[in-house]
Structure 1
Amino acid sequence: MAPSVTNSNATNTTTIVQFNSVTQLPIKLAGSHNFSPWKAQVSMLMRGHNLYGHLDGTIPAPVETTTSNNLTISNPDYVNWFCQDQLIQNAILASVDPTLAAIVAAATTTKAAWDSLNTAYANKLQTCIFSLRDRFAFLTKESQPVTDYLNQVRSLYDELATAGALVTNAELIVKILTGFGSEYREISAAIRARDNPIS
């Protein structure tokens, strides 16, 4: 569980959540190949603490200063928002590979860092998914042993799932049977003829 820091002043009490990136964000963003699970873990953690608005901008920054007794002073709400935003940005920084840290460090807010990472890796993730789907579609057993073919199918299936592009059981069965080729057509026909080929 994340420890929290309570800041008190004369006008209000606010809980600021700190994060332990090692235990709470174990998946390190290393590029487009693991962007989807990394994004999911950060999103779930922030939603769990009701802080997702720092990522998508629905918890905007309050005004920086306020007037009290004709004096302009720091707005305590902004100070609390800024402290929380910096701690979230720091958690994100700690959960990315050092080669990607500059993207997060250069951002002025958590939302800016989040948007930069999405821009950098979400499009590449789609390209990666298209490539994996293409490889999955054209994979065949050819002359390799059945176990090697099935291991390749499973590997691509797992990569697609990790990228957030799930393959249904029905698609998986069709892929496997199609990839076997004519040598296994009788077995394929028997499986396809079943009411429920999965069971």
Structure 2
Amino acid sequence: MVAITGSSSYNPIITINTTTTINEKLTPATFPQWRAQFEALLIGYDLIDFVTSKHQCLAIDGTKSATSKAVNFYWIRQDKLILHAILVSISTTITSFLTSCKTSHEAWAALTCLYKGKYRTRTMQLKEDLTLSTRSSRSVIEFLQAMKIIAYELAIIDHPISDDDLILYILNGLGPEFRDIAAPIRAKETSLKFEEIHDLLVGHENYIRRMENQLASNLITTVNYSHWKGGISSNDRSFSNMGHRHNKQAIHPKATPSSIQMNLQQIVQPPHKEKIKNGLLTLLHRTR
């Protein structure tokens, strides 16, 4: 909460309650997030010039006029309130570094000097994370969210990456399943926004899953139909028995597409992989 506690002939005095406006105290690990919140707050209330030293304290003129006194008094009061807000929003382990600071600008500069040197190491780490990140077993949505979080943190510490670079990192980490859609995206002459690439990749993932389920459904229907007709040759029966030795529930009339995918993965293992594949091709050929 921010309250106007008083006023002078110059400007009202603004008090900042950081417990309700800053959601976490400053620690050595949270400076970028803390600074982003505090800057936004100061800009919103037109107080940022105090910490950047653009708005400096004006000395009382030689005549000690009421106006110059009011301006000077206003600046001191407002700056001390900003300094207080900074001090109460940081952890006690950091407060000791600011005990000698007399103005909000001194405190702000001290914190920036203390932590900005660590930006380079953090920036390199985050960029390495972007380079090495892969989708692996995650869904596309989870992968994209993780990449966006890294890009957001880079922006906070003044090292933003362009949409083109972010999309390149994403395409590199998707894996071979997305090769068909990655190629045309790379070839586009115009840049895509993150939101656009998000919709394209999620849609492509849904298409891949539908095709996998359809293939599994067609396969189980074909195999079960061949069993029911009794048209399996001796070679086909040896193939079927071999599958049952690996998994007794491999092919069942009540199996689902997802279960047939899992069972086929269990069955189709070396050294019988080629023989089973040939048996499947024979069954599929007979139903045509």
TM-score bucket (shorter structure): 0.7 to 0.9
Do structure 1's residue 21 and structure 2's residue 18 form an aligned pair?
yes
1:29, 1:95 within 8 Å by CA — same for their partners in 2? Answer: yes
Using the TM superposition, give the Cα deviation of residue 56 of structure 1 relative to its aligned residue in structure 2, in angstroms. 0.7
Quick one: structure 1 residues 152 and 190, their matched pair in 2 at CA, closer, same or farther if it must change by over 3 Å? closer
Q: Is the 1:6–1:13 Cα contact (8 Å) retained in structure 2?
A: no
Render the CA deviation track for 1:19-70: whole Å, top value 9, x for unaligned: 1111122232222x4322321221221122221111111110121575449x
Aligned mates of 2:169, 2:11 — CA distance in 1: 54
On the 8 A contact 2:10/2:74 being kept in 1, the answer is no
Q: Does 1:187 align with 2:181?
A: no
Change in 2 beyond 3 A, CA 1:159/1:64: farther
Change in Cα spacing, 1:159 to 1:4, as seen in structure 2 (3 Å) is same
Q: Which residue of 1 aligns with 2:79?
A: 85
SS at match of 2:6: strand
- Alignment correspondent of 1:135: 129
> What RMSD in Å do the two structures reach over aligned CA positions?
3.1
| Helix, strand or coil at the partner of 2:117 | helix
User: Is 1:56 paired with 2:47?
Assistant: no
Unaligned runs of 5+ in 2: 201-288
TM alignment of 1:151-190, pairs within 5 A: 154-155=145-146, 157-164=148-155, 165-180=159-174, 184=176, 187-190=178-181
Aligned residues: 185
For 1:115, the equivalent position in structure 2 comes to: 109
Q: Structure 1 CA distance, aligned partners of 2:70 and 2:124?
A: 48
TM-score (norm 2): 0.54
Question: 1 or 2, which has the higher strand percentage?
Answer: 1
Greater relative contact order (CA < 8 Å, ≥ 6 in sequence): 1
Tell me which amino acid in the other structure corresponds to 1:57.
Answer: S
2:62 & 2:127 partners in 1: Cα distance? 55
**Identical columns (%):** 23
* Paired residue type of 1:35: F
Aligned pairs for 1:6-45 within 5 A: 6-7=6-7, 12=9, 14-31=11-28, 33-45=29-41
Does the CA contact (< 8 Å) of 2:52 and 2:105 recur in 1?
yes
TM-score of the superposed pair, with normalisation by structure 1: 0.75
Deviation at 1:130, TM superposition (A): 1.5
Q: Distance in 2 between matches of 1:93 and 1:123?
A: 21
Partner AA of 1:25 in structure 2: I
